Amino acid sequence: MMEPFEQGLLVGWLRNFSVKVDRYRWAQDGFTRFVIDEAEPLGVDLGDESRTITGDIIAEALRIRDEQLAGAEPSVLEQNLLAVGELLRLSEQEQLLMGALVRAKVLPLVEELFEMLELDEIRAGDSTTMGVLATLLGLTRGELLDAMSPRGRLLASGLFTIDYRSDCQPLPALTRFLQAQAEPLSDVRAALLGDPLLKSLEWEDYDHLRADRDLAATLLQQAASRQERGIHVLLYGPPGTGKTEFCKTLAAQLGLKLYGVGQADERGQEPSRDERVGSFRLSQKLLENQNDALLLFDEAEDLLRADGYDEYLAERPGGYGSRVFMHKMFEESRVPTLWTVNDPSALGPSVLRRMTFAIEMKVPPAKVRERVWQRLLDREQVSIPAEDVRRLAEDFDAAPAIAAGAVRSARLTSGGSQEIRRAVTSIAKVMRGAESPPRPVNSVLYDPRLINADLDLAKLATRLSGLDTRAFSLCLYGPPGTGKSAYVRWLAREMGLEVIQKRASDLLSKWVGENERNIAAAFAEARDTGAFLVFDEADSLLGDRKSASQGWEISQVNEMLTWMESHEYPFACITNLMSHLDEAALRRFSFKVKFDFLKPDQRELAFQHYFGVAPPAGVREIDSLTPGDYAVVRNRARLLGELENAAELKKMLEAEVAVKPHARKPMGFNTRLN
């Protein structure tokens, strides 16, 4: 049953139309049928059912009912519409138009009337449609056109959209919240905007973006406080790099409210492009005088991409005008807006140059990932060993959303580390198209005490981690397996950096000039991502130019030397053949560190560390042992089921040493004759 006020409003519209129904002879039958069919729910008394219902009878019955309902209290819907109009400072005509179009969406009888009168599409260019609607509302056609003007407050507010057919429709967000209200709203702005988005990560979780993060924070803080126009920050990067979560954390750090734009239509489904534009304009309008808010337009490719208007423009005359509209909307916006996209190149230069600042979202380093994993585990009350948390962080560069899903699956299945690993791997495989296996779960935690070097490497790590500059280089040389690569990975982790490791085979090519390009690309990748660059088999890249027989060998070394001098991030070269390196290259390393075989006390410590059992007698006397030997023996013993057999483990270590080229052989002659 319609409320008395809504009955009175609809009866008033019908009365307006009945007076001038002769102008619209094509609509007379539909109008008459509607009044007769809906007379009872509207409380309209048409008299004896047996008599013929004429236009005069309808007009008189509507007049009487209109007067009866004249003093009805405004409905909740009307009060909320008035509050919206007051907030947006709409004119009387704009208020009437808004009320009519909203009611056509939320009140079945009004919707039926609009269908009867063919008003389901309101087009400013259709004189007949405009005439019927103006008559219903008691307006002149000119007043109605003014209310629908793109320059008017109603359309400028974003509450209504006009699509490529010039069809004027209310924004789904408007009808959704008006329809859901059982009482008058005390805060219309809050109801239209929805709840601010809440963070799930901490400011420190984005330390790997410190420079960009801090600059964006200062920019947005000042823009919001000064209500600066046209401030837009672009967040870009592959799916799963945490763009949306960063926006939430950024807003929370600044003490600003972050509102999502155009995330769903009135049915909770994916909104159209027009609906997203309307939602953006409405949010801008509602917050234009606020200095405590930011907007987030997530997954903005469908709105901003340079080639994404095809379907939208296919039926729109002069479709390129929409780009001009978008550019103007960017430049005139009053609320700072964060935009997230996966591929910025799809947006085109005209959009990109209207961005105030852009941040490439990078995979956080392992230390940050470990902190995020631990927080997610605590939140879901899933308990796993601290070492397993560390390994999850090192093995997977999973975004917070993927990590959260994996931890949730572990909680639901009462699982632990293995279930989390399986869940993360399954999603990573789908996203990347192939599975990149993580480090084996039986790997052993790195221990800096098991490194025999001519420099205190733990002290060096502490010193380098505390420096303001990251511009240093290492040359690590010594026999295979002595822990050179493991030390670099550990040092990078201590510094909160990711590692980009390049082997000579990754860079060397048979094509002229390709080696130099690959070397430059490796340094550029490390520079752009702020990673620790490591070159394995560096003797193949920095060979002594005095012994070079080909021109490309010299140009390759020259390219390496040029980058070594200018690179502003840490990098290391690892080699087993120190004597083969070019002298000029050696002079450019900040530190040259020799790695050697384990000392006697380290051999016993490594036995306990790798095998978890006490070392037997004689382990100290096994020369030429390296951490790599212990790792190989550990894996072999695990396969043979001998991990707890100390004597057998000692024999395996001796066998590893025996096959090394420099292993000492027994002295004397074999006098046995064949």
Q: How confident is the model at residue 581 (pLDDT cuts 50, 70, 90)?
A: confident
pTM recorded for the entire structure: 0.64
DSSP codes, 273-326: HHHHHHHHHHHHHHHTT-SSEEEEE-STHHHH-TTTTHHHHHTSTTTTHHHHHH
Count CA within 13 A, CB hemisphere, residue 465: 15
- 472-501 tens-digit pLDDT: 999 999 999 999 999 998 998 888 888 888
Residue 386: which residues within 8 A CB-CB, separation 6 or more? Answer: none
Q: What is the CA radius of gyration of the chain?
A: 37
**136: three-class secondary structure by DSSP:** helix
CA gap 498, 537 in Å, rounded: 20
Q: Homologous superfamily of 195-306+317-360 in CATH?
A: P-loop containing nucleotide triphosphate hydrolases (3.40.50.300)
Q: Which residue has the tokens 């800096």?
A: 448
Do 195-306+317-360 and 448-594 agree at the fold level?
yes
Which range, 81-85, 256-260, 663-667, is most confident?
Answer: 256-260
Q: What is the DSSP letter of 262?
A: S
Q: Homologous superfamily of 448-594 in CATH?
A: P-loop containing nucleotide triphosphate hydrolases (3.40.50.300)
What is the predicted pLDDT for the residue at 527? 84
What is the predicted pLDDT for the residue at 435? 42
The residue ranges of every structural domain in the chain are 4-70, 76-191, 195-306+317-360, 366-430, 448-594, 600-659
Q: How many CB atoms lie within 10 A of CB 271?
A: 22
pLDDT at 311 over 70: no
pLDDT at 406 over 60: yes
Q: What angle do CA 328, 332, 333 make, to 5 degrees?
A: 115
Classified by CATH at the fold level, domain 366-430 comes out as Helicase, Ruva Protein; domain 3 (1.10.8)
CA gap 205, 393 in Å, rounded: 13
pLDDT at 438 over 70: no
**Structure-model confidence comparison of residues 98 and 160, the more confident one:** 98
CA gap 405, 411 in Å, rounded: 10
**552: three-class secondary structure by DSSP:** helix
Residue 472: which residues within 8 A CB-CB, separation 6 or more? Answer: 464, 570, 590, 591
**185: three-class secondary structure by DSSP:** coil
